[in-house]
Amino acid sequence: MMKLDKDKLIIGAAGPVLALLTSFVLTVLVLLATGLDPIEPIRLMIENAGYSDIQVLIVNQTGIYYLAALAVAIGFRMNLFNIGVDGQYRLAAMVAALVGASVELPGPLHILLIVLVAMLTGAFWAGIAGILKTARGVSEVVSTIMLNAIATSLVAWLILPKNFGVQPAGSNNLTTGEISESGWFPGIDMGEGNGVIYGFTFVAFALGVVYWFVLNRTRFGFDLRATGASESAAQASGVDAKKMILTSMLISGALAGLSGMPTLLGESHTYSLDFPTGVGFTAITIALLGRNHPVGIFFAALLFAFLDKASSTLDTFGYPKEITVIMQGIIVIAVVVSYELVRRYGIRRQQQKVGEELAAGGALKTDKEVAA
């Protein structure tokens, strides 16, 4: 039994490692092809990551990616592809900022309200795709992509000064107004010039534990994984697959809504035109790379945050920082390919093993053929 688990672990890790190596090698080749020193930018990035202000940026970004990737991962476990995390994240952050700026409450309640509004908004937006899927059979891939575009327009409309937006005097930006200080999530100040670690980052990592527990130690988690593995089989054993689809879309959306909270509660305290975007798309890669496992996702999120933040000054040394975008892009492709390769290898290996054991035990050959 122990032996089998070790095999599983090695095969589990082989995918990501293969993908990372491929992307690293290809990136070096791209640098060589453009006539640049392939090692220097990587050395610079590692040097950058040694500075504590960059580390703070990396940690904060990891928390944001972690939440968004959990949102994607819970969908993946259900065999649902929620591409709409980005739209859910933006709409939720905007509506939560709006509500947060328009009320005055004592500290913890104020934060709780903002967080709840964000979760409900994200869940609502993802729930539309969930209902479309369960009631009309609309593919969630299509509906969530379209909902992203609708979220963009909706946010753009809501934030107009004639509706709910505020244009600060002398600014060309539009905001939802500043959330008063009772709605700021306390962070850890890392000292002058080093920045602040958002308090919500720790909420993000705690949710990773909750994710693991719910998925692996509860009836609900079992139903979810069962439905993801085979909808018809789960249905036959008494699981209401439609209810599971809707529920997991709602949870996915709620988590997507939370992924805007580190930035909103810890840094900007308002939703403005330059609120970070694209988090939901990066999160898809991170969830894939992390194999939907809470620890795997953590390291994948950390890696992507490192690539993002440590590369920020590369261009001042004459190296295009886009090399990290290339690296991330190659990781996406390499992950898919290498997982398939590793999966096939794993199956072949398993079959071989079973065959050897059967042969050694002198079992009937026909049995083996039937099993294969």
Quote the least distance from Cβ 172 to another protein, whole Å.
Answer: 4
Site string for another protein, 233-272 (x = CB under 8 A): ------------------------------x---xx----
Please identify, using beta-carbon distances, which residue of 124 and 299 lies nearer to another protein.
299
What is the SS3 assignment for the chain?
CHHHHHHHHHHHHHHHHHHHHHHHHHHHHHHHHCCCCCCHHHHHHHHHCCCHHHHHHHHHHHHHHHHHHHHHHHHHHCCCCCCCHHHHHHHHHHHHHHHHHHCCCCHHHHHHHHHHHHHHHHHHHHHHHHHHHHHHCCCHHHHHHHHHHHHHHHHHHHCCCCCCCECCCCCCCCECCCCCHHHCCCCEECCCCCCEECCHHHHHHHHHHHHHHHHHHCHHHHHHHHHHHCHHHHHHCCCCHHHHHHHHHHHHHHHHHHCCHHHHHHHHCCCECCCCCCHHHHHHHHHHHCCCCHHHHHHHHHHHHHHHHHCCCHHHHCCCCCHHHHHHHHHHHHHHHHHHHHHHHHHHHHHHHHHHHHHHCCCCHHHHHHHC
Q: Which of 101, 197, 234, 255 binds another protein (CB under 8 A)?
A: 197
Quote the least distance from Cβ 279 to another protein, whole Å.
Answer: 7
Per CB under 8 A, does 169 bind another protein? yes
Quote the least distance from Cβ 40 to another protein, whole Å.
Answer: 17
Q: Which of 295, 336, 359, 364 binds another protein (CB under 8 A)?
A: 295
Site string for another protein, 20-49 (x = CB under 8 A): ----------------------------x-
Segment contacting another protein by CB under 8 A, of 134-142, 148-156, 220-228, 241-249: 148-156
Per CB under 8 A, does 317 bind another protein? no
Q: Which residues of 56-76 are buried (b: 16+ CB within 10 A; e: fewer)?
A: bbbbbbbbbbbbbbbbbbbbb
Q: Which of 205, 225, 235, 363 binds another protein (CB under 8 A)?
A: 205
Q: Which of 31, 45, 58, 111 binds another protein (CB under 8 A)?
A: 58
- Look up residue 99 and give its two tokens: 């509500």
Q: Which of 302, 327, 331, 334 binds another protein (CB under 8 A)?
A: 302
Per CB under 8 A, does 163 bind another protein? no
Largest CA distance in the chain: 85
Q: Which of 4, 29, 229, 273 binds another protein (CB under 8 A)?
A: 273
Per CB under 8 A, does 298 bind another protein? yes
Per CB under 8 A, does 107 bind another protein? no
Q: Which of 152, 180, 182, 235 binds another protein (CB under 8 A)?
A: 152
Residues 325-364 that bind another protein (CB under 8 A): none
Per CB under 8 A, does 92 bind another protein? no
Nearest Cα neighbor of 152 from 273, 7, 290, 30 is: 273
Per CB under 8 A, does 276 bind another protein? yes
- Asked if 345 contacts 12 with a C-beta cutoff of 8 angstroms, the reply is no
Quote the least distance from Cβ 34 to another protein, whole Å.
Answer: 16
Q: Give the number of residues in contact with another protein, rule: CB under 8 A.
A: 62
Site string for another protein, 210-229 (x = CB under 8 A): --x-----------------
Per CB under 8 A, does 293 bind another protein? no
Q: Which of 75, 259, 294, 339 binds another protein (CB under 8 A)?
A: 294
d(CA 91, CA 75): 19
- Asked if 308 contacts 49 with a C-beta cutoff of 8 angstroms, the reply is no
What residues make contact with another protein under the rule CB under 8 A?
Answer: 48, 50-60, 62, 90, 152-153, 155-157, 161, 167-174, 190-191, 193-195, 197, 205, 208-209, 212, 263, 267-268, 273-279, 282, 294-295, 298-299, 302, 308-309, 311-313, 315-316, 321
